[in-house]
Amino acid sequence: MTEESVGIVETKYLDIAEPIKLDSGEVLENVTVAYETYGELNKEKSNAILICHALTGDAHAAGWHKGDKKAGWWEIVIGPGKALDSEKYFIICSNVLGGCKGTTGPSSINPKTGKPYGIDFPVITIGDMVKVQKKLVEHFKIDQLNTIIGGSMGGMQVLEWMVRHPKMMKKAIPIATAAMSSPQQIAFNEVGRQSIFSDPDWNNGNYYETGKVPENGLSLARMIAHITYLSDESMDIKFGRDLQDKDEISYDFTIDFQVESYLKHQGETFVKRFDANSYLFITKAVDLFDLSVNDSLIDGFKCVESKVNVISVDSDWLYPTEQSTEIVTALNANNIETSFSEIKSNYGHDAFLIEKGQLNHILSKFLSENLVEDLMMENIVTITDDADVPEAARLMLDRHVTHIPVVTNDYKLIGIVTSWDLSKSIATNSDNLKDIMTKTVKYCHADDTIEDISRMMRKFDISCLPVVDEDMKVVGLITTDQISNLLS
């Protein structure tokens, strides 16, 4: 464990009270979601980042569980001083619906039968996973996430969030992913599923009480999938045609090459931590994923509102850069503020789990490019100039604020009243708001940069600025406290 780690963490669990209606029309009751959090949620609940994991990941994205020899799967970017700084952000990661690491899935107990669901678990979609994540976010009373980030299947979840709940995040970062599964991607998943189906120990999905696990089928499925996570170059560099624990070819079907031994080890390790039925349902959800509308990805992204940074890997042949640029093109066609970054790596698809330097640079740069709209408070209190001073004082006390914009009946900014102004009313013995409010008020716009308005606040010694639209209507407030929290 290093100083940059979030340290010892534990997985928590949320029981969702209401049933979850799935995209298939089926209903799941008594859903539990496993999750971990790193950092603290600020008072405004504006610093939350949701991390979405890949196909066989889980909620343990960072830190260490007691007794573990390995940190969370994205330790390289989560923690103090890293791009996803736990001293700045409140980071949430949950195990997906259908998983086997604490969230309800096929190995969970079916409340109707008292036995594991097995193959009776309903077919789920990426959208269903997002429904459960949304319940978790609402549990923290978060109205809008700062950012949603995920790679591979996690990137699909990010895209689904952008489309289904466009107002619930300010920024989105889909990594090494696609807006729809291609025939080749579906084919690889189907071969993996058939490997599990063909294992006699699978027992039509009802193996939980037999004492046997479809190890051979699940191991083979993992070996096939793992090949797609690597690049030809990375395999050549790591293994070449080197032999495994021998000096010459055996001329039989025992393991000759290091790459064979490596894949066998990956398969054997995987069956110790993952459930075969979960693998079936989650890969099916990936296959069903398609955000196009009327065969148009442009139509599919029409409602997106968040600022987006799409990231690909140049050596990724499972989710190649072409699929990322399709996303970028469709977002640009909808005038969505979109940037694109390509990780240079010979690691292939897995680079988003490995390339620490490039990832921290790309994520930090995108997260630090903040506009006023990224930080401003939107649900604010205003007052009209025909109000009196006691009314303004009561509002400040009730809402725990020190600045209230003064507006016309159609919310156009005409001034601001501060706690200092209220003190002035006592000295002048005035109850008329017009007499004490500041009329030459400074203001900013939602698309102004944080750097620009920070300079303005320092120049004029201002601690709060109203945010207005092109018609001078007040849409929010931004304070020096918010900026300080961001920059600290």
Residues annotated as catalytic are 152, 316, 349
Residue pair 35/93 in contact (Cβ under 8 Å)? The answer is: yes
Instruction: Write out the two tokens for 222.
Output: 């993992």
Could you give the C-alpha distances from 354 to 159, 320, 344, 346, in angstroms and in order? Answer: 22, 17, 12, 11
Radius of gyration of the chain from its Cα atoms, rounded to whole angstroms: 26
Q: What is the DSSP string of 369-388?
A: --BHHHH-B-S---EETTSB
Direct distance between the N- and C-terminal alpha carbons of the chain, in angstroms, rounded to an integer? 24
Q: Write the single-letter amino acid at 26.
A: E
Residue pair 284/163 in contact (Cβ under 8 Å)? The answer is: no
Maximum distance among all alpha carbons in the chain?
A: 102
84: nearest Cα among 59, 107, 50:
50
- Give the separation between CA 37 and CA 48, rounded to whole angstroms: 10
87: helix, coil or strand? coil
- The alpha-helical segments, DSSP class H, found in 140-208 are 153-164, 183-197
Within 13 Å, how many C-alpha atoms sit on residue 480's CB side? Answer: 13
- Give the separation between CA 230 and CA 313, rounded to whole angstroms: 11
144: nearest Cα among 311, 340, 305, 20:
305
Instruction: Write out the two tokens for 401.
Output: 């604020």
- The alpha-helical segments, DSSP class H, found in 205-257 are 215-229, 232-238
Residue 7 burial by CB count (10 A; 0-12/13-18/19+): exposed, middle or buried? middle
Residue pair 443/465 in contact (Cβ under 8 Å)? The answer is: yes
Residue 353 burial by CB count (10 A; 0-12/13-18/19+): exposed, middle or buried? buried
Residue 348 burial by CB count (10 A; 0-12/13-18/19+): exposed, middle or buried? buried
402: helix, coil or strand? coil
- Give the separation between CA 317 and CA 13, rounded to whole angstroms: 36
